[in-house]
Amino acid sequence: MRIHELNKLVAQRIAAGEVIERPSSVVRELIDNSIDANSTSITVKLKAGGLEEISIIDDGAGINKDDLEICTNSHTTSKVSSIEDLYHLKSMGFRGEALYSIAAVSKLTISSSYEGDLAHTIIVDNGKKSPIIPNGPDKGTIIKVEDLFLEIPARRQFLKRPSTEATMCKNVLIEKALAYSNIEFRFYVDDKLILHLPKTNKQERIVNTISSKNKIILNDTLELSATYDRFSLYAVAALPHIKRSDRSNIKIYINNRPIQNYALVQAVTYGYGELLPGGSYPYCYLFIDVDPTLVDFNIHPAKREAKLRIQSEIHHSIVSMIQKQMIRPIPTLDDTYFQNDLPLSQNYEKKEYQNTSKPYSSSYFNKQKSSYVNENIIGEDPNPINPDWFEKAKEILAKPKEVLESIEKDETKLNEDNFEWDKISKVDFKYIGQAFKLFLIVEKDNELFLIDQHAAHERILFNEIRERQNVQKLLFPINFEVERDVDNYLLQNTDIYANLGIELNRESDLLWSLCSIPTIYKPIESKIISFIQNNTGDYKAIEEGLFAVLACHSAIRQGDIVEDKTAICLIEKVFELEEPVCPHGRTFLIRFNNEELKRAVGRT
């Protein structure tokens, strides 16, 4: 077949297929135009999931009559004039393809009043223009898209049910609305109001939008922010106890544009690090405001991707911001714990106490005492109880009468959710002793703390390793070979090691060199290289693996007898921590207040 020029309408529909895939694509492009018109209110209305009709109503600046004539032509836009403008983009739209593409596959009606002037309307039916007529809204623009893909039945066959298409449109509106909390949004389906988002701030907009499905309240989230020379970060992030099993609620926005960028999603998860257990992911909505000259949005027809010229710098800053600003509450026991029944686990059915255990008696404690004194004697109970702990608990609870009366009058809630670790004084504690060769028992501020000695020591060692990040350039880089899978991994993930102070360089195929290393790693260079040769994984896995090489085997273990002086030194460091969390994500202490312990023995 000879080469020939495509029919204009065929070429138009081919080009439209890159931009307009389904009703949600129309909603995405038209909302962008309304935002660029400085609208303060945007309404989206659908009929039959958008296949029959999509209407976008805004109160923006509008479109001039002369511009109406050409706005549906190919590559017509008010946002870009020269090549240089592509590298200074501040608008949501810029290609000049949206209205042209929509007009090629539907009946498009545009009615607009430009800055309060007399309104005019133009209709373009599947690429065929009608004359402009005087008619339209008093302010802003109304765009109606009817019979989408009616003349392209093959395209309609790939669409889903109207209710599903409507949900996709709603999700697009929400995605846009999260970045523009200063704009009011409404969403109608078949004349029924489905969603109304009034003007507010970003944190409230995000919480109000996601709370219906996820039962998140404002107090479950934090605002995080950091400002640098060429970019700034702002995030609305949920506290660590609010988590998911997937990454679907980690959203990235660059200059208010939603972007798919797996590396930056990873940065968010790295920032939470040990605050989340394995396989869990946070709720985090991250907004990156970057110099337009450092980002290129012109790489994807739907503008879902972007190239950042300083991605590694931004990646590191995201991790640092979340690590420094995220907080974690200290667990306590709630009011349901101390009852006549045994403490209950959510994994077991509730059982009556007298049916599951022997009653306490003097002979019971005597038996436990003999097992405790002589560790070589195997008692009937595999977990013997130290009676000294009971005596010490009685001493703690023994208070003067006037103190007890003042406690009884105290109306403070026993299990306050706003307990803040950083408000605890760092001095004046009383070390009571060690229990079960695992817990250090501490009395402090009218509360009792049980500290897991192994996990606490791990955290302290881990922090020391993190703080000693004086990176040393090796005089002679050390070369080492890797397997193909590790080579491919390092090509994509050298930034993970760079964030940990380890600089790697690829010398040739399968050959790498260790160029820089934190000073603290210097005595074990060979072990670090061996680790790199044998491990792939995300930031958390690599960080924890390196930590295991350095510190895990040095920490005090369960079963070790800890001398009083060592215990006191460890406790002092624990109370100096920003958060009492071990490197593996476990909070290593629990607290009891005076009232809780008294209720445990029936004194209230």
Kindly report, residue by residue over 151-170, the tens digit of the pLDDT: 888 888 888 889 999 999 99
The residue segments making up the domain with residue 417 are 399-604
Residues 580 and 489 in one domain: yes
The neighbouring-strand residues paired with 237 are: 222, 284
Q: Is residue 393 part of a domain?
A: no
> With 50 as the cut, is the pLDDT of residue 491 above it?
yes
Q: Is residue 263 part of a domain?
A: yes
Residues 128 and 19 in one domain: yes
CA quadruple 71, 77, 82, 86: dihedral sign? negative
- Sorted by sequence, the CB contacts under 8 Å of residue 89 that are 6+ apart come out as 79, 80, 255, 292, 297
Mean pLDDT of 126-136: 90
Token pair, residue 57, equals 């109503």
Position 374 scores a pLDDT of: 31
pLDDT tens-digit map of 518-576: 877 777 788 889 889 888 878 877 887 787 676 655 667 777 888 888 888 888 888 88
Q: Is residue 481 part of a domain?
A: yes
CATH number of the domain within which 590 lies: 3.30.1540.20
**How buried is residue 459: exposed, middle or buried, by Cβ count under 10 Å (0-12/13-18/19+)?**
buried
Angle at 468 between CA 465 and CA 469, to 5 degrees: 105
Boundary of a domain, candidates 302, 325, 348: 325
Residues 191 and 211 in one domain: no
CATH number of the domain within which 257 lies: 3.30.230.10
Q: Is residue 364 part of a domain?
A: no
Residues 579 and 430 in one domain: yes
Residues 166 and 49 in one domain: yes
The neighbouring-strand residues paired with 57 are: 43, 142
pLDDT tens-digit map of 204-233: 999 998 876 777 888 889 999 999 989 999
Boundary of a domain, candidates 158, 173, 197: 197
Residues 287 and 413 in one domain: no
Confidence of residue 48 (pLDDT cuts 50, 70, 90): very high
> With 90 as the cut, is the pLDDT of residue 194 above it?
yes
Lowest mean per-residue pLDDT among 51-65, 242-256, 259-273, 342-356: 342-356
CATH number of the domain within which 160 lies: 3.30.565.10
Lowest mean per-residue pLDDT among 91-100, 232-241, 346-355, 543-552: 346-355
Token pair, residue 102, equals 């929509």
Position 486 scores a pLDDT of: 87
Nearest to 494 by CA among 476, 508, 506: 506
Q: DSSP H helical segments within 46-184, as ranges? A: 65-70, 98-104, 153-156, 162-179
Token pair, residue 435, equals 């229990």
Residues 300 and 154 in one domain: no
39 in Cβ contact with 183 (< 8 Å): yes
> With 60 as the cut, is the pLDDT of residue 109 above it?
yes
Residues 190 and 295 in one domain: no
Mean pLDDT over each residue of the chain, to the nearest integer? 77
Which of 12-16, 76-80, 225-229 has the highest mean predicted lDDT (pLDDT)? Answer: 225-229
Residues 291 and 309 in one domain: yes
Q: Is residue 356 part of a domain?
A: no
Q: Is residue 357 part of a domain?
A: no
- Sorted by sequence, the CB contacts under 8 Å of residue 412 that are 6+ apart come out as none
Query: Can you give the pTM of this predicted structure?
Result: 0.59
Q: Is residue 378 part of a domain?
A: no
Boundary of a domain, candidates 153, 169, 197: 197
Domains in the chain, number: 3
Confidence of residue 290 (pLDDT cuts 50, 70, 90): very high
Q: How far apart are CA 288 and CA 55, in angstroms?
A: 31
Position 132 scores a pLDDT of: 92
Q: Is residue 380 part of a domain?
A: no
Position 367 scores a pLDDT of: 34
Residues 29 and 131 in one domain: yes
Residues 55 and 97 in one domain: yes
Confidence of residue 3 (pLDDT cuts 50, 70, 90): low
Residues 69 and 151 in one domain: yes
